[in-house]
């Protein structure tokens, strides 16, 4: 009997905000992944890179200002760097955990390009937060000096925003399918993938960050995943979130999810893109199942004990 296909989107809470914090957190992430490997799934993992790509970009900007021999680093290249170093940490942690549990599976990280449409309206309205939080004064100074756009982010400070176009095609998709079908645990579309546009001369990187849930959903669609799992900071999806009449949802139909979106139940910077990613997957793979839960509750969610399941 063929293995079921499991595609996982890892949230930022699984990675942390610094290399040191990330090394600690991915050990816990690896335990969850190993529990899935025991179940004999084909496993494909996507992850975010918001803090990391912003940190890399900022480091090069600061260095180039103090030393004119160091060039500023273009944003696509910063995305590639973040894919590689986050992938290295995840890959190593999963390898170590698999070995500790005597699970005979291998892991690889694939630097992945994702094609976007140059005419996507997102390029006119940057919206994806990247990098660290700034005070209002710091954000205004950087906006004036560098032309960056900043937004206030959930009461925590100001973050730079960049365009977030929709993923149209994953360049390395055939290789992802081949590796996963052989039992390899594949880490891919890191940070949503390196955004590229395609023309008669091939692929070219563009300054943007693709939403990782959207790109991972695209992976789930292309491999015809049986289960698309989004791991985030909350154990399940809530309506009236953070209010006295907050209510957790164990199951949401496609129609109910669309109704809740129309009601404004899901915050734009957090739960909304996750719900929209699940909807895009379910509309393309109506026999599949999407699930949203926290990293620590993921095994229980797969056993039907918690989490939110979205179905057609």
Long-range (24+ apart) CB contacts under 8 A made by 61-65 are 61/146
Q: Are 256 and 275 in contact (CB under 8 A)?
A: no
- Chain-centroid distance of CA 58 in Å reads 21
Give the C-alpha separation, 80 to 96, whole Å.
Answer: 24
Collapsing DSSP to helix, strand or coil, 265 comes out as coil
Catalytic residue among 12, 157, 248, 269: 12
Active-site residue, 240 included: no
Give the C-alpha separation, 274 to 48, whole Å.
Answer: 12
Active-site residue, 274 included: yes
Catalytic residue among 5, 50, 274, 288: 274
Catalytic residue among 5, 31, 177, 212: 212
Return the structure tokens found at 284: 């393309």
Catalytic residue among 5, 128, 177, 218: 128
Question: How does DSSP assign 69-91, residue by residue?
Answer: TSPPPPHHHHHHHHHHHHHHHHH
Give the C-alpha separation, 113 to 172, whole Å.
Answer: 7
Q: Are 192 and 172 in contact (CB under 8 A)?
A: no
Positions marked catalytic: 12-13, 128, 212, 274
């Amino acid at each position: 009997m063929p293995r079921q296909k499991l595609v996982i989107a890892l949230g930022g809470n699984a990675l942390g905000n610094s290399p040191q914090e990330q090394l600690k957190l991915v050990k816990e992430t690896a335990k969850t992944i190993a529990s899935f490997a025991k179940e004999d799934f084909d496993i494909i993992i996507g992850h975010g890179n918001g803090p990391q790509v912003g940190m890399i970009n900022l480091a090069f900007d600061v260095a180039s200002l103090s030393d004119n021999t160091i060039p500023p680093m273009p944003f696509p290249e910063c995305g590639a760097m973040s894919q590689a170093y986050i992938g290295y940490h995840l890959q190593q942690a999963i390898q170590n955990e698999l070995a500790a549990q005597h699970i005979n599976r291998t892991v690889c990280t694939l630097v992945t390009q994702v094609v976007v449409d140059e005419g996507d309206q997102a390029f006119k309205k940057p919206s994806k937060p990247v990098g660290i939080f700034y005070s209002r004064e710091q954000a205004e100074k950087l906006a004036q000096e560098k032309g960056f756009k900043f937004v206030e982010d959930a009461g925590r400070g100001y973050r730079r925003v960049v365009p977030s176009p929709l993923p149209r095609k994953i360049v390395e998709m055939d290789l992802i399918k081949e590796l996963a079908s052989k039992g390899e645990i594949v880490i891919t579309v890191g940070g949503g993938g390196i955004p590229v546009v395609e023309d008669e001369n091939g692929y070219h990187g563009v300054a943007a960050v693709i939403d990782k849930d959207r790109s991972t959903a695209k992976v789930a669609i292309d491999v015809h995943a049986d289960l698309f799992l989004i791991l985030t900071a909350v154990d399940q999806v809530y309506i009236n979130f953070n209010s006295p009449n907050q209510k957790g949802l164990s199951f949401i139909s496609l129609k109910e999810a669309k109704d809740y979106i129309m009601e404004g139940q899901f915050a734009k910077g957090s739960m909304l893109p996750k719900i929209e990613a699940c909807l895009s997957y379910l509309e393309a793979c109506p026999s599949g199942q999407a699930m949203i839960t926290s990293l620590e509750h993921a095994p229980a969610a797969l056993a039907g004990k918690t989490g939110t399941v979205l179905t057609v």
